[in-house]
Structure 1
Amino acid sequence: MDETEDLEILLTNDDGIGSVGIRALHDALAEVGNVTVVAPADDQSAVGRAISTEVEIEEHALGYAIQGTPSDCVVAGLEAIGPYPDLVVSGCNRGANLGQYVLGRSGTVSAAVEAAFFGVPAIAVSLYVPTGDLAFHEIEVTREDYAEAVRATEYLAERAISEGVFEDADYLNVNAPVPDNEPAGMTITSPSHVYDMDATHNGDSITLHDRIWERMAEANIDDPEGTDRRAVVEGNISVSPLTAPHTTEHHDALDTLVGDYENC
């Protein structure tokens, strides 16, 4: 094998260690380096960067199952289980993680962000599953459906570090379509800023609606060219190079406001 032979990879997800997507990635990444799986014991979708103070761990045929969140898995994998990785991969998620507003919600993406705070390069990988007229839970996803996501992840894992990608990005958010007749292209994107949430009050409950998913089901989106959602709906693999959140920027208006505080 080439220079990536000894690449150490920590693999996690938020769908749970028994999911089809993590098995598909594991088998492909095993051709790229040494893979250690530390993943939630069960589904932890949409938990964001929730963290625990103590979690139970069990050995699993694929690696280690943690009774906790994706962020728990990253911290445990890096600090308590080892070997210390060169790269963290999170996925492959059953369902896309697209748009700026999703980044903080997604357990898949949050695992990559957690790795970024440790200074470890990371790739979050998700599969866009078109629903059409069906509800998301009614869609059956097979291992073959992950083929484009797997191909893209293996390609990036094998090359991104040595090519210097992570000198400018902390992590990559990758979203892939299900396979079509022709291999999907890969394009660099930025997360869409389009946001469309609403809520309805129904007696003793309130129902929250993410209208973006309804638009995507109909391939009817108004996201600009170059955004992640548009790329995936058009059949391409979206790669968004991102940095960990909460960066500090200089703002003249805030300087003035803080400077006037003692005079108020």
Structure 2
Amino acid sequence: MADLQIMLTNDDGIESPGFRALYDALSEIADVTAVAPADDKSAVGRAMSHSVEVREHELGYAIEGTPADCVVAGMEALVTDADMVVAGCNRGANLGAYVLGRSGTVSAAVEAAFFDVPAIAVSLYVPVGEDTSYADVEVDYEAYDYAAEAARYLADHSLDAGVFDQADYLNVNAPVPDPDSDGTRPEMAITEPSTAYLMTAVKDGEEISLQDGIWELMAEGDIPDPEGTDRRAVVDGKISVSPLTAPHTTERHEALDALAETYPDSRN
């Protein structure tokens, strides 16, 4: 697509190495304008502000707000001719159906969908052990190579291929490059979000600790997710691409229709 205009945002902040890696990769095939949070706004979902401060940045604009703020501000006031919104590259995977609504990265793509603008959310799976958070792991610019290459490829080809005739946005998750690889790109797998849910809560006195048990299993490669799911693909070293629609989908439910019909005559 000639003269492709991309608005790039994220939730790790405009100065993060993953954002710069994605900006550089996309700049090879498009005119890219950054509209991203000035600071880290991870895991804020689609939180929205009433007003935000904006300042010019060498890559575009830094916003004192959330990823959703950035998309609205960008679409309406800063990059009104954008053909696509790309969000990322996030440090840490966004895998599984239950994670999608929490993620600022994915939420930026969802926000773009409501503007009828195709979007791609891009995240990097950072393996961590039992006592380590992904936020404690230093991830350098080069670690985002697979994620940035995949995003560039999809941004360059997905519009003309008609991908967004059926999907509102793509949720892309890539592994960290294997230092022992021969340089061959990993396989790209088309997936759906995993439904496996391993959140637990333990009460200790007046405190309750919340934990997601899936990350330790991922580090061990022992997960309950079947073939075809996003988490399984990434653990197997593939790039996961889930074509998704913006929430919330609706279906006819005969049982609920029947309840609605009997409501006027009901008495409790």
Instruction: Return the match for 1:202 from 201, 204, 208.
Output: 204
Question: Map of 1:12-23 to 2, 5 A cutoff?
Answer: 12-23=9-20
- RMSD of aligned Cα (Å): 1.0
- Tell me the equivalent position of 1:173: 171
Distance 1:35 1:50 in 2: 24
Q: State the shift of 1:132 in Å.
A: 3.3
Q: Is the 8 A contact 1:8 1:83 kept in 2?
A: no
Q: Hey, what's the Cα distance between the residues in 1 that align with 2:228 and 2:199? A: 22
Corresponding residue for residue 188 of structure 1: 190
Contact 2:128 2:215 (8 Å CA) reproduced: no
CA-CA distance at 1:66 after TM superposition? 0.6
AA at the equivalent of 1:18:
E
Residues 135 and 248 of structure 1, relative CA distance in 2, 3 Å threshold = closer
1:57-82 superposed Cα distances (whole Å, 9 cap, x missing partner) = 11112211111100000000000112
Q: Determine which of 70, 73, 76 is the counterpart of 1:73.
A: 70
Q: Which residue of 2 aligns with 1:106?
A: 103
CA deviations on 1:116-166 (whole Å, 9 max, x unpaired) are: 011000000000011135432331111111000011000000000010000
Matches within 5 A, 1:234-249: 234-249=236-251
Find the aligned partners of 2:147 and 2:135 in 1 and give their Cα distance. 20
Which 4+ residue blocks in structure 1 deviate beyond 4 angstroms?
A: none
Q: TM-score, normalised by structure 2?
A: 0.95
Cα distance between partner residues in 1 of 2:58 and 2:235: 35
Contact kept, 8 Å, 2:147 with 2:174, in 1: the verdict is yes
SS at match of 1:58: strand
| Residue in structure 1 matching 2:145, options 132, 147, 150 | 147
Aligned partners of 2:110, 2:136: CA distance in 1, in Å? Answer: 30
- The residue correspondences of 1:49-60 to structure 2 (distance < 5 A) are 49-60=46-57
Q: CA deviation at 1:204?
A: 2.6
- Contact 2:128 2:216 (8 Å CA) reproduced: no
Looking at structure 1, the residues matched to 133 and 47 of structure 2 have their Cα atoms a distance apart, in angstroms, of 27
Structure 2 counterpart of 1:157: 155
Post-superposition Cα deviations, 1:37-96, rounded to whole Å, max 9, x if no partner, equal 000011111100001110111111221111110000000000011242110000000000
Tell me how many residue pairs correspond in the alignment: 261
8 Å CA contact 2:13–2:37 kept in 1: the answer is yes
Alpha-carbon distance in 1 for matches of 2:190, 2:61: 33
For the pair 1:41 / 2:43, whether they are aligned, the reply is no
Q: Structure 1 vs Structure 2: percent identity of aligned residues?
A: 65
Distance 1:18 1:174 in 2: 21
Partners of 2:133 and 2:167 in 1: how far apart? 35
Given residue 188 of structure 2, which amino acid in structure 1 is its aligned partner?
M
Match of 1:259 in 2: 261
Residues 1:100 and 1:145: Cα distance change in structure 2 (over 3 Å): same
Counterpart Cα distance in 1 of 2:221 and 2:107: 27
Q: Runs of 5+ in structure 2 lacking a partner? A: none
Post-superposition offset of 1:5: 3.2
Amino acid at match of 2:12: D
**What residue ranges of structure 1 are gaps of 5+ in the alignment?**
none
SS of the residue 1:260 aligns to: helix
* Matched residue SS, 1:92: strand
